[in-house]
A and B are shown apart, each in its own frame.
Chain A
Amino acid sequence: MNTENKPGSIDDLAQLYRKIILRHSSNPVGFQKLIKETCRHELFNPLCGDRIVIMLQLEGQIIEDAAFDGESCAICRASASLLCEQVPAGGIEEFTHTQQWLERALTSSEETDGPPALQALLGVRKYPSRIKCVTLPWTAAASALSQ
């Protein structure tokens, strides 16, 4: 097995824990925020025991507001925070489009388009064991919407 060029140079680590990620993790948007929620979904990451709850306020086809709760790592918290910052006032269709883009972008470096604000999450690409940390809140939101 080729052990060269493996993920994990100090640059990679800096990409993973960019300032914006650390900022969202320590001062998250929507964390335990009271909203007029209309749906919610809780998910666990069996690998680490993390828990995330996504709460959404849906009016028609528009996601008016989003909040989250749970115990999770910095990457997962930042991802949930970015979701709560970026998703409100957008439509369900737009959310689904973004979520699917994120799933693709995390596993393929060819996916370059997508919301500029979410580019910071792509530092996790070189850390396959951490990809679920990013996707967990988005999967939870998608499940909440499908109820």
Chain B
Amino acid sequence: MSVQFNVEKVRHDFPILTRQVHGKPLVYFDNAASVQRPLAVIEATDDFYRMHNANVHRGVHLLSQEATDLYEAARRGLTRFINAPSEREVIFTRGTTESINLVAQSFLRPRIGPGDEILITHMEHHSNIVPWQMLCEQTGASLKVAPINQRGELELDALENMLSERVKLLGIVHVSNALGTVNPIEKVVQMAKRFDIPVLVDGAQAMPHQQVDVQALGCDFYALSGHKMYGPTGIGALWAREQILEDMPPWQGGGEMITKVTFNETIYNELPAKFEAGTPNIAGGVGLGAAIEYLTGLGMDAISVHEATILEAATAKLSAVDGLRIIGTAAHKAGVISFTLGDIHPHDLGTVIDHHGVALRTGHHCAMPVMQFFKVPATARVSFGLYNTLEEVDILIDALEQSREMFS
């Protein structure tokens, strides 16, 4: 059953979209950096602080119970949303970056040494590069990088040839934040499983654009961020198989993650609390729960169809702009178009476009190796959310034409 998606109605759910920027209506095309929040999320966090605020898992008083219920309801919601088998497998973190660092330090560090390899791809965000580089420095392992082609697609044959018993983890982005490429995760996981290589997927950019099913993907770790999927900043999650999490030592020590503490020994708490030391971002979790309810209400499939329409139209219109070069032309893309315009530096373009009310990102998008591959210092990037419209694409094109005249 297809769900009717009414973008004009949806836009009313986002208070910030009524804002003017430099006297022009806001056109928000920086969704890959952080999306805007619907009223449901804003109200859920507001309501939490007004009515239910207390610490979780600690008090016998009513507010503490309510706070715990709301926080754990969010975990249940996320568990269902990504089709995880159990709530015990969903660890709340600050976001994708923290999730990846957790896997690097708790899962991989005890299992890796000199001669071992960590395999990533050339299109990774810095958050899926640097934690592994740090681990390599700590352990003497080496970092290997699977290549991409000129369209910004993963070279699957090359990746397959790089797999071996030496590879102790494969880290791969689901949707590239710099190029928009959607990677064939199921296929890559199948390849990796021939060598029993655990696969970590950076799902930050995939979550807002498509229904993610961690069991169908077949990966071992899935990292995500709340603020990319219409939830608050400072909250995210790591999903991992229960057996893997059971075998991993805690990452950070403190309150919440213990069952019993004496000066001689500490008995760690059960999953998922074992990995959630300290007071968590409770309101953030509640907000993320509200975001998931909101997305479920709209239907991820309907959102995907709407965004694909915007992406297709924007790709066609941008391609027709004189001197515009799209960086990343993969056959399967989601939500992102990176580009350069003639000799105009993206930074200058971003400032001028901003005067038209259009927010886009300029720079290296925390993916400097991607920029090096395409031999550009930076790109301009438009990235789409569920509230963007075809009319907004026209405003962008008009702004680009005017910018080009200004710098000609």
Residues of A participating in the B interface, judged by any CB pair closer than 8 Å: 3, 6, 8-10, 13, 16-17, 22, 47-51, 71-75, 127, 130, 133
Contacts and interface: CB of A to CB of B under 8 A. Distances in A.
A48 B351 contact: no
B371 A9 contact: no
B407 interface: yes
Contacts of A75: 347-348
Interface of B: 19, 22, 344-348, 351-352, 354-355, 362-364, 368, 371, 377-378, 406-407
Contacts of A8: 22, 354-355
B348 A74 contact: yes
Nearest to A51: B377
Given A49-B378, A51-B377, A74-B407, A16 B363 contact: no
Contact of B355 (A13, A22, A71, A130): A13
Contact of A73 (B347, B364, B371, B406): B347
A48 B364 contact: yes
Contacts of B363: 47-49
A49 B355 contact: no
Contacts of B347: 48, 50, 73, 75, 130, 133
Contacts of B377: 48-51, 71-72
A13 B407 contact: no
Contacts of A72: 345, 377
B351 A127 contact: yes
Q: Which of A49, A50, A72 is packed against the most chain B CB atoms within 10 Å?
A: A49
Contacts of A51: 377
Contacts of B406: 17
Q: Which of B347, B352, B363 is packed against the most chain A CB atoms within 10 Å?
A: B347
Contact of A74 (B19, B345, B362): B345
Q: Which of A10, A51, A73, A74 is packed against the most chain B CB atoms within 10 Å?
A: A73
28 contacts: A6-B22, A8-B22, A9-B22, A13-B351, A16-B351, A17-B348, A47-B363, A48-B346, A48-B347, A48-B362, A48-B363, A48-B364, A48-B377, A49-B363, A49-B364, A49-B371, A49-B377, A49-B378, A50-B377, A50-B378, A73-B345, A73-B346, A73-B347, A74-B344, A74-B348, A75-B347, A75-B348, A127-B351
A18 to B, nearest CB: 12
Contacts of A48: 346-347, 362-364, 377-378
Contacts of A6: 22
A51 to B, nearest CB: 7
A30 B364 CA distance: 27
